[in-house]
């Protein structure tokens, strides 16, 4: 921890129920100043609830939220100095772009001159200089999104919450705006919490990712660690992995399944209760010729090719191994095997992850 | 517009366009003919009569009208009472709209159902109900007199302005509540939340965000209330007494009581002009707020109350609603079964007998079957014409169509009294001698109901995506089959709603009926009006009894929509 790293937000045992149904169950984490956290999870996982509790828009809860070291439960939302960007932007339809951005500053009784300067700076930052007099219904989806970002940043909040801010935009625009948002947030050194159900978006925006499922925090980690070592089968499945192999652990760090012995890299953690491994699709190399020896720390998997799907930079192979289809991504060179061809794949031990079932 | 649509339209221009075009106009010719005969023809006659009273140009009549203080006073009074009614209604209904727009609470659905009652209640019944509650012989006065041993009734608002102002509030309260409450519930709650997150307090959020966003809805609700009160007829005629007259009431008096037809025509002209102006304003405003006439109620973003103060506020409003809406109707029913010596069904049984020196030539109960017969006939005419006109309007969208749409809505902007007056001065001689014909009543009612039916059917017809019809066509359906198996089932509910509206409008219609009903075939409202105009306890009691029957018949129509709707849902064919 560097000396200027300090916790800006600490969530301890946060639980919230609605009509008897748990929306959040004992969620705890903390966030450093300037960090961008992504709340990742399927719809109904409690992401938005968590965000609205932080904002103070919902308040039936048990557990504690410490913001800058203070319990914020008694503070009403408009005094929390937390900004929020809403899912459908929630721009004020009766106000112009300028008036929307200026609203938060007016609430702070900001002097007219400073206000003007700040709004101009915000417009420039989001690339909408000259759009001040536009009406909201004259803007495109991407422009609205920028106005919403500018509006929520104008009063300089200590924490910015973003609730699926790119949800309604198309793929290409999303990809571009994701990167833009990250660079704007980073340049202003704003601490932010970003809600999404899209893992690609989460990975490209976040410093930390929190995976929520059915109200529970499943994993809190950096994007890289999340991808390399998903904590459990639910997280792995949510990240899009499907190569789960059931079996038993024996000695010598070998996981035995009906598909054959698979070598696992996490020797230390290996325990008898591990019964499922995940094989990441990027961890396989096609074995050409029987004669070559097996590289160290890897396993051999044999099966029949059932499908070959071209995906641009890779081929995705569906390989039937012991009556189960496993998916592997292979480089487009050399030419992939044909359907129904029997192949052998070398699986790197680092691509095999033991999962808590 | 998608490429497929462009191609489809391009192809249409080449082959089927001409016959399709012809068919559209053929469909539309019937409603158009109906409007020409029973709307434009009588109206033209009114205009002619006011400028050419004896067949020659006599503008003096008009100029005398405007120089005479009597008529200016009527115009002023009409405007003033409408403005006052609107203000009072808004003041009372906006808190209710807040409660309905923002909160859910037990019994909300029941109250919502209750709120539709005044909306469909005939004006004559409302007037009778208020007399039953607060009139000279009303329930409250009766109780107070016996309770405090008074010799004269302590509440004396009969034949004062306050009496019909109260009735106007009763009428329009639920209208404002529905429009503004529905709009309020439809406001994105995130917009309010966004204001809070930007540092606005709850009060600042209300003043700077919610209120400005509500303005269009409040404006169009207020204007609609103003229009209704400006053209108020039955309530003012019955509750106001001879001392008060809106333009509508004065037209009736001039035409029926004083036989001053040119003066009545001149007043009708004023009424038509003001109505068009108001409706034009309303249409412009409504475009901005996009309120629907018959919304299924305010749910949307409503939430449960948390704080004690919120619950108390809801309670106060609900109690007020119940008192305002239920007490007159209760009084009406109670008064209809209370005679001088306690409980009695004498008034009801009297409806079945023909009395000597009575105000009727036939037994009064025949008014019930008359009304139902007229109602069914008017409903059939209005729905047939409405369906034809809606199909025409929905089949294309252009400048021309919206012009025709406006033409169809014209009867809505014309008062029923004006129409009734127009009928008696035009349809009394060949080529259209219907003055003594029984069909005149359902025709008048159908004309009044027609725009409502179109407003019910057209939106749901327009909501059907064109792709649905294209899919059916590519699956081999002919244009008629597309209409029969795609359009018709989807708009069935709208047709049903329109039918019941038409039926209940006909049942309660009084303004035009006052002119065109024949003495021996009275409708229920006309019968009630005649009873109320006669002295004596028996006539009063019979008015109450007849009003109760009319209320029950009207409400059962709407109850049947509900039944039919839930039936459709349970069968699983609901759209």
pTM metric for this prediction: 0.78
Q: What CA–CA distance (Å, rounded) separates A45 from A212?
A: 6
From A153, which residue of chain B is nearest by alpha-carbon distance? B198
Q: In a 3-state reduction of DSSP, which class is residue A196? A: strand
Provide the pLDDT for residue B65: 66
Cβ contacts (< 8 Å) between B201 and chain A: which residues? 76, 78
pLDDT tens readout for residues B88-144: 999 999 999 999 888 888 888 888 878 877 877 888 888 888 888 888 778 888 888
CB atoms within 10 A of CB A317: 25
CA separation, residue B192 to residues A61, A105, B310, B335 (Å): 22, 16, 18, 49
C-alpha angle A41/A46/A50, rounded to 5°? 110
Describe the crossing of helices B308-336 and B139-148 by its angle, rounded to 10 degrees: 90
* E strand or H helix at B309: helix B308-336
Q: Which two tokens stand for residue A282?
A: 């990027």
Closest by Cα among B383, B417, B418 to B488? B383
- Nearest chain B Cα distance for residue A102, angstroms: 10
Q: Which two tokens stand for residue A292?
A: 């070559």
Provide the pLDDT for residue B378: 95
User: Which residues of A fall below an 8 Å CB-CB distance to B?
Assistant: 55-57, 76-79, 82-84, 86-88, 90-94, 103-104, 107-108, 151-152, 155
Describe the crossing of helices B41-51 and B59-67 by its angle, rounded to 10 degrees: 80
CA B560 to chain centre: 19
- Complex ipTM, two decimals? 0.78
CB-based burial label for B173 (10 Å; 0-12, 13-18, 19+): buried
Task: Give me the total of CB pairs closer than 8 Å, taking one residue from chain A and one from chain B.
Answer: 62
From B202, which residue of chain A is nearest by alpha-carbon distance? A78
Provide the pLDDT for residue B8: 45
- Nearest chain B Cα distance for residue A204, angstroms: 26
Q: Which residues have CB under 8 Å from B452's CB, separation 6+?
A: B293, B382, B412, B498, B501, B502, B505
pLDDT tens readout for residues A173-203: 888 888 888 998 999 899 999 998 888 888 8
- Taking an 8 Å cut-off on Cβ atoms, the answer to whether B199 and A91 are in contact is no
Q: What CA–CA distance (Å, rounded) separates B106 from B49?
A: 57
Q: What CA–CA distance (Å, rounded) separates A65 from B508?
A: 61
- Taking an 8 Å cut-off on Cβ atoms, the answer to whether A155 and B199 are in contact is yes
Cβ contacts (< 8 Å) between B196 and chain A: which residues? 56-57, 76-78
- Dihedral (Cα; B386, B489, B463, B401), 10-degree rounding: -30
CB-based burial label for A189 (10 Å; 0-12, 13-18, 19+): exposed
CB A141 within 8 A of CB A169: yes
Cβ contacts (< 8 Å) between A92 and chain B: which residues? 191, 194-195, 209
- Nearest chain A Cα distance for residue B40, angstroms: 41
pLDDT tens readout for residues B276-304: 888 888 877 766 655 444 344 434 567 78
Q: What CA–CA distance (Å, rounded) separates B366 from B360?
A: 10
Cβ contacts (< 8 Å) between A192 and chain B: which residues? none
Strand bridging mode B342-343 / B338-339: antiparallel
Average pLDDT, chain B: 82
CB B239 within 8 A of CB B171: no
Which residues of chain B fall short of a pLDDT of 50? 1-15, 291-299, 572-575
pLDDT tens readout for residues B412-443: 878 888 888 888 888 776 666 766 778 889 99
Q: Which residues have CB under 8 Å from A224's CB, separation 6+?
A: none
From A85, which residue of chain B is nearest by alpha-carbon distance? B194
Cβ contacts (< 8 Å) between B213 and chain A: which residues? 93-94
Cross-chain CB nearest to B199 (options A57, A94, A104) = A104
Provide the pLDDT for residue A252: 65
A52-61, A299-308, B415-424, B425-434: segment of lowest average pLDDT: B425-434
From A82, which residue of chain B is nearest by alpha-carbon distance? B197
Q: Which two tokens stand for residue B463?
A: 């909501």
Closest by Cα among B115, B85, B83 to B97? B115
CB B354 within 8 A of CB B144: no
Handedness of CA B471, B473, B476, B482 (dihedral sign): positive
Cross-chain CB nearest to B197 (options A77, A88, A94) = A77
CB A188 within 8 A of CB A154: no
- Taking an 8 Å cut-off on Cβ atoms, the answer to whether B190 and A87 are in contact is yes
* E strand or H helix at B421: helix B416-426
Q: What CA–CA distance (Å, rounded) separates A165 from A150?
A: 13
Interface test with A, best of B186, B199, B211, B215 (most A CBs within 10 A): B199
Encode burial over B379-409: b for 16+ CB neighbours within 10 A, e otherwise.
Answer: bebbbbbbbbbbbbbbbeeeeeeeebbeebb
CA separation, residue B244 to residues A222, B250, B419, B528 (Å): 80, 9, 22, 20
- Nearest chain B Cα distance for residue A52, angstroms: 10
Cβ contacts (< 8 Å) between A56 and chain B: which residues? 196
- Taking an 8 Å cut-off on Cβ atoms, the answer to whether A90 and B188 are in contact is yes
DSSP at A221: E
Strand bridging mode A36-40 / A208-213: parallel
CA separation, residue B49 to residues B257, B327, B433, B451 (Å): 18, 45, 18, 26
Radius of gyration, CA atoms only, chain A = 25
Q: Which residues have CB under 8 Å from A270's CB, separation 6+?
A: A249, A253, A264, A354
Q: In a 3-state reduction of DSSP, which class is residue A227? A: helix
Provide the pLDDT for residue B575: 32
Task: Check if B197 contacts A (Cβ < 8 Å).
Answer: yes
CB A27 within 8 A of CB A15: yes
CB B525 within 8 A of CB B508: yes
- Taking an 8 Å cut-off on Cβ atoms, the answer to whether A57 and B193 are in contact is yes
Q: Find residues 199-228 of chain B whose CB sits inside 8 Å of chain A.
A: 199-201, 204, 208-209, 212-213
Q: What CA–CA distance (Å, rounded) separates B330 from B573?
A: 38
Lateral strand order in the sheet of A36-40? A82-85, A159-163, A191-196, A36-40, A208-213, A216-221
Closest by Cα among A50, A41, A43, A65 to A16? A50
* E strand or H helix at B211: helix B211-230
Radius of gyration, CA atoms only, chain B = 25
Q: Where are the alpha helices (DSSP H) in A156-198?
A: 171-188
Q: Where are the alpha helices (DSSP H) in chain A?
A: 47-55, 97-107, 112-125, 141-153, 171-188, 199-205, 223-228, 233-238
C-alpha angle A254/A256/A258, rounded to 5°? 155
Task: Check if B194 contacts A (Cβ < 8 Å).
Answer: yes
CB atoms within 10 A of CB B557: 19
> How many Cα neighbours within 13 Å face the side chain of B332?
25
- Taking an 8 Å cut-off on Cβ atoms, the answer to whether A84 and B200 are in contact is no
DSSP at B536: S
Cross-chain CB nearest to B200 (options A84, A107, A151) = A107
Q: What CA–CA distance (Å, rounded) separates A270 from A286?
A: 27
CB B310 within 8 A of CB B103: yes
Backbone phi, psi, residue A71, to 5°:
-75, 125
CA B164 to chain centre: 17
Confidence of residue A39 (pLDDT cuts 50, 70, 90): very high
Describe the crossing of helices B366-394 and B488-508 by its angle, rounded to 10 degrees: 140
The more confidently predicted of residues B550 and A19 is B550
Confidence of residue A273 (pLDDT cuts 50, 70, 90): low
CB A352 within 8 A of CB A299: yes
A30-39, A231-240, A265-274, A339-348: segment of lowest average pLDDT: A265-274
Q: What is the DSSP string of B422-470?
A: HHHHHTEETTEE-TT-TTHHHHHHHHHHHHHHHHHHHHHHHHS-HHHHH
């Amino acid at each position: 921890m560097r000396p200027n790293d300090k916790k800006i937000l600490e969530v301890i045992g946060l639980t919230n129920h609605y009509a008897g149904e748990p929306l959040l169950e004992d969620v705890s984490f903390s966030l450093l100043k300037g960090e961008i956290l992504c709340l990742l999870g399927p719809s109904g996982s409690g992401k938005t609830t968590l965000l609205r509790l932080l904002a103070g828009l919902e308040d039936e809860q048990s557990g504690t939220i410490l913001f800058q070291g203070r319990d914020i439960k008694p503070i009403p939302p408009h005094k929390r100095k937390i900004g929020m960007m809403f899912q459908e932007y929630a721009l004020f339809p009766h106000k112009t772009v300028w008036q929307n951005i200026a609203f938060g500053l007016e609430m702070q009784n900001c002097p007219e001159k400073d206000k003007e300067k700040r709004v101009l700076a915000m417009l420039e930052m989001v690339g909408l200089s000259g759009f001040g007099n536009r009406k909201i219904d004259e803007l495109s989806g991407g422009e609205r999104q920028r106005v919403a970002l500018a509006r929520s940043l104008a009063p300089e909040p200590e924490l910015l919450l973003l609730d699926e801010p790119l949800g309604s935009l198309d793929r290409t625009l999303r990809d571009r705006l994701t990167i833009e948002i990250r660079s704007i947030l980073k340049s202003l050194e704003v601490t932010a919490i970003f809600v999404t159900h899209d893992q690609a978006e989460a990975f490209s925006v976040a410093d930390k990712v929190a995976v929520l499922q059915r109200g529970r925090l499943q994993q809190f980690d950096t994007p890289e660690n999340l991808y390399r070592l998903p904590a459990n089968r639910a997280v792995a499945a949510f990240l899009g992995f499907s190569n789960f192999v059931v079996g038993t652990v024996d000695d010598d760090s070998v996981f035995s399944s009906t598909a054959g012995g698979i070598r696992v890299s996490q020797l230390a953690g290996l325990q008898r209760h591990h019964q499922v491994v995940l094989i990441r699709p990027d961890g396989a190399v096609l074995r050409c010729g029987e004669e070559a020896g097996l590289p160290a720390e890897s396993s051999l998997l044999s099966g029949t090719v059932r499908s070959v799907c071209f995906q641009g930079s890779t081929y995705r192979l569906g390989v039937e191994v012991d009556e189960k289809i496993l998916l592997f991504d292979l480089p487009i060179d050399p030419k992939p095997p044909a359907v129904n061809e029997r192949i052998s794949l070398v699986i790197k031990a680092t691509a095999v992850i033991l999962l808590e079932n | 517009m998608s490429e497929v649509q462009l191609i489809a339209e391009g192809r249409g221009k080449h082959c089927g366009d001409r016959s399709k075009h012809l068919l559209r106009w053929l469909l539309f010719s019937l409603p158009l003919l109906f409007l020409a005969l029973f709307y434009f023809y009588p109206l033209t006659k009114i205009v002619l009569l006011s400028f050419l009273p004896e067949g020659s140009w006599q503008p003096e009549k008009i100029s005398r009208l405007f120089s005479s203080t009597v008529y200016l006073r009527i115009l002023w009074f009409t405007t003033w009472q409408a403005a006052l009614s609107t203000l009072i209604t808004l003041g009372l209904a906006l808190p209710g709209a807040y409660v309905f727009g923002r909160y859910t609470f037990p019994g909300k659905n029941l109250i919502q159902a209750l709120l539709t009652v005044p909306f469909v209640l005939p004006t004559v019944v409302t007037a009778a109900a208020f007399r039953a509650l607060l009139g000279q012989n009303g329930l409250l006065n009766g109780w107070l007199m016996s309770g405090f041993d008074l010799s004269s009734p302590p509440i004396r608002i009969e034949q004062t302005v306050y009496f019909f102002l109260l009735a106007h509030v009763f009428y329009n309260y639920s209208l404002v509540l529905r429009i503004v409450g529905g709009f309020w519930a439809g406001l994105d709650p995130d917009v309010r939340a966004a204001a809070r997150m930007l540092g606005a307090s709850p009060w600042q959020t209300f003043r700077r965000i919610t209120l400005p966003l509500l303005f269009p809805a409040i404006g169009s609700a207020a204007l609609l209330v103003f229009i209704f009160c400006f053209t108020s007829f039955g309530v003012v005629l019955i509750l106001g007494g001879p001392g008060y007259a809106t333009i509508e009431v004065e037209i009736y008096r001039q035409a029926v009581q004083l036989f001053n037809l040119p003066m009545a025509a001149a007043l009708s002209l004023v009424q038509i002009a003001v109505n068009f102006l108001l409706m034009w304003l309303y249409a412009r405003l409504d475009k901005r707020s996009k309120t629907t006439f018959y919304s299924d109620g305010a749910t949307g973003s409503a939430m449960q109350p948390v704080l004690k103060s919120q619950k108390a506020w809801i309670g106060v409003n609900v109690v007020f609603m119940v008192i305002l809406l239920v007490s007159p109707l209760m009084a009406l029913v109670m008064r209809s079964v209370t005679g001088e010596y306690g409980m009695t069904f004498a008034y009801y049984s009297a409806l079945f007998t023909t009395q000597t020196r009575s105000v009727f030539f036939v037994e009064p109960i025949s008014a019930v079957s008359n009304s139902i017969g007229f109602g069914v006939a008017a409903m059939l005419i209005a729905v047939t014409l409405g369906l034809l006109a809606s199909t025409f309007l929905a089949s294309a969208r252009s400048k021309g169509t919206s012009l025709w749409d406006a033409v169809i809505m014209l009867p809505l902007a014309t008062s029923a009294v004006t129409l009734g007056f127009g009928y008696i001065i035009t349809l009394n001689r060949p080529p259209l001698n219907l003055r003594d014909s029984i069909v005149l009543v359902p025709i008048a009612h159908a004309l009044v109901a027609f725009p409502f039916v179109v407003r019910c059917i057209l939106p749901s017809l327009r909501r059907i995506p064109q792709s649905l019809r294209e899919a059916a066509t590519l699956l081999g359906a002919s244009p008629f089959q597309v209409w029969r198996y795609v359009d018709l089932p989807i708009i069935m509910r709208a047709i049903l709603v329109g039918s019941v509206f038409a039926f209940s409008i006909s049942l309660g219609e009084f303004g035009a009926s006052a002119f065109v009903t024949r003495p021996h075939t009275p409708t229920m409202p006309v019968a009630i009006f005649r009873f109320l105009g006669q002295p004596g306890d028996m006539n009063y009691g019979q008015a109450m009894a007849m009003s109760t029957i009319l209320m029950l018949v009207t409400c059962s129509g709407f109850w049947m929509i509900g039944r039919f709707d839930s039936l459709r849902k349970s069968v699983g064919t609901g759209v």
